[in-house]
Amino acid sequence: MSPESKKQQIELLKQKNKDFKKQIKERVDGYNSTNKNPFTEQYEQNKSHDKLMDICISAFTKGNPCCDKLNYCFISSEPLVELGIKNFDILILNHISKYAIFVECKTSISKGVVGEKYEAIDNILKKKDYLEKEIGNKIDCMEFVFCIPSDKIDVLVRQIENVEKVNKIDSEKDPIFLIWHVNRFLKKPILQLFESKKIKTRKNDIFYRHKDKELTELLRVGVEVESEFVGEIYPSSHPCKQGRAVIAKIISENDRIIKTKEMDSENISKLRKIFGKQLIYDYFKDKKTLTHYNEDTIGMNLADRFLRESEKFGIIEPFPPDMYELKIPGEGLDTILSNYEKKYKEEFLEEYSEEEVFDEFTTKYKQLF
């Protein structure tokens, strides 16, 4: 069943079947009674991942020795995502030596993640010419890195060993993964290179290090992250996080938002917040917002998704000809953002529950379908 026909069936069942509607309400109520629900788990996991990216990127921005002294600087988040290719989280480049480092950040090590990332290396190698054109620089040397919390090292090492053994990966000839780890419990996080000789499939200790000796020495000691990255969102940041960021922008753009006070049915003054569609596109396509070399394409897609999803969730309403009204109550920014997140969660769980109950319902009542 296609997603479109599934949605049509759900709407039909909601209209005609009281038991179906009752089951959805019970599922939503059950999720709302605990913090262990699909939205909270997904949202918190994504925020934790973004935080690890922030720390890693910070070590390679101006003001930090990797960038200032050794010229290894952050170039882009999520290279190749504009092509629909799930790849690495971070691209770092030394524009002088043409040395590129592709980093995958993982807050937990799920089964199969190392195998997936070896496939991602193949994507990078196939699209090398494309990447060089996009970033405006040659890439003469590539290295690949997992960046993880320090307490996840043993799990990752075991999985790397297994993948290298099964796939007969030769560390002398084939691309391999290095490991950076972050102690997240320090006041100032420290990014370090894992250089222990614990990876049994690698016999020579040079295969735990970067080809650049200076970079190896610096990361062996560890880089203290003085200030975390100031970019606002990444292409794969949770839509709710992206929504919070753009709504904060809407509220702060006093010269680009129309605020009209009207009296409601109870004769109480009500503030209406009306903004132009272009404000959303300008925000998502701004380099400071997105941190990607192809901010136009990705920014357009993210803006389209925000507008489409927010209208469906009742967060915004069209205000012809090319305006929208923000329907989230509140006047202070903190209140508006809190109400936005609450509304987003409600709509997310409603939609999630509909899908879950529909799948169970169609299995139980096959004769209806």
What gap in Å lies between CA 145 and CA 169, rounded to an integer? 16
What value does the CA radius of gyration of the chain take, rounded to a whole number of Å?
24
pLDDT tens sequence for the chain (369 residues): 676 688 888 888 888 888 888 999 999 999 988 878 999 999 999 999 999 999 999 999 999 999 999 999 999 999 999 999 889 999 999 999 999 999 999 999 999 999 999 999 999 999 999 999 999 999 999 999 999 999 999 999 999 999 999 999 888 889 999 999 998 778 889 999 998 777 888 878 788 899 999 999 999 999 998 777 767 899 999 999 999 999 999 999 877 778 776 655 665 556 788 999 999 999 999 988 988 999 999 999 999 999 999 999 999 999 988 899 999 998 889 999 999 999 999 999 999 999 999 988 888 776 555
- For residues 69 and 187, membership in a common domain is answered with yes
Q: What is the SS3 assignment for 186?
A: coil
Whose tokens are 């419990």? That residue is 185
Pairing of strands 141-149, 177-183: parallel
Question: How much is the pLDDT for 298?
Answer: 95
Domain end (from 169, 202, 224): 224
Which residue, 111, 86, 112, 223, is CA-closest to 102? 86
- For residues 311 and 262, membership in a common domain is answered with yes
Residue 243 domain flag: yes
- For residues 149 and 212, membership in a common domain is answered with yes
How many folded domains does the chain comprise? Answer: 2
Question: How much is the pLDDT for 155?
Answer: 95
- For residues 237 and 216, membership in a common domain is answered with no
- For residues 279 and 336, membership in a common domain is answered with yes
Domain harbouring 47, CATH code: 3.40.1350
SS3 content of the chain, % helix, strand, coil (to 5): 50, 15, 30
Q: 287: domain range? A: 3-36+232-364
Residue 100 domain flag: yes
Residue 237 domain flag: yes
- For residues 155 and 271, membership in a common domain is answered with no
- For residues 186 and 135, membership in a common domain is answered with yes
Question: How much is the pLDDT for 366?
Answer: 66
Q: Is the dihedral of CA 39, 40, 42, 48 positive or negative?
A: positive
- For residues 250 and 359, membership in a common domain is answered with yes
Residue 249 domain flag: yes
Residue 369 domain flag: no
Residues in the chain: 369
Residue 195 domain flag: yes
Identity of the residue numbered 163: V
- For residues 60 and 199, membership in a common domain is answered with yes
- For residues 132 and 79, membership in a common domain is answered with yes
Q: What is the SS3 assignment for 87?
A: coil
Stated pTM of the model: 0.90
Domain end (from 194, 224, 254): 224
Question: How much is the pLDDT for 296?
Answer: 95
Domain end (from 173, 195, 224): 224
Residue 128 domain flag: yes
- For residues 32 and 120, membership in a common domain is answered with no
What gap in Å lies between CA 8 and CA 3, rounded to an integer? 9
Question: How much is the pLDDT for 8?
Answer: 85
- For residues 208 and 105, membership in a common domain is answered with yes
Residue 278 domain flag: yes
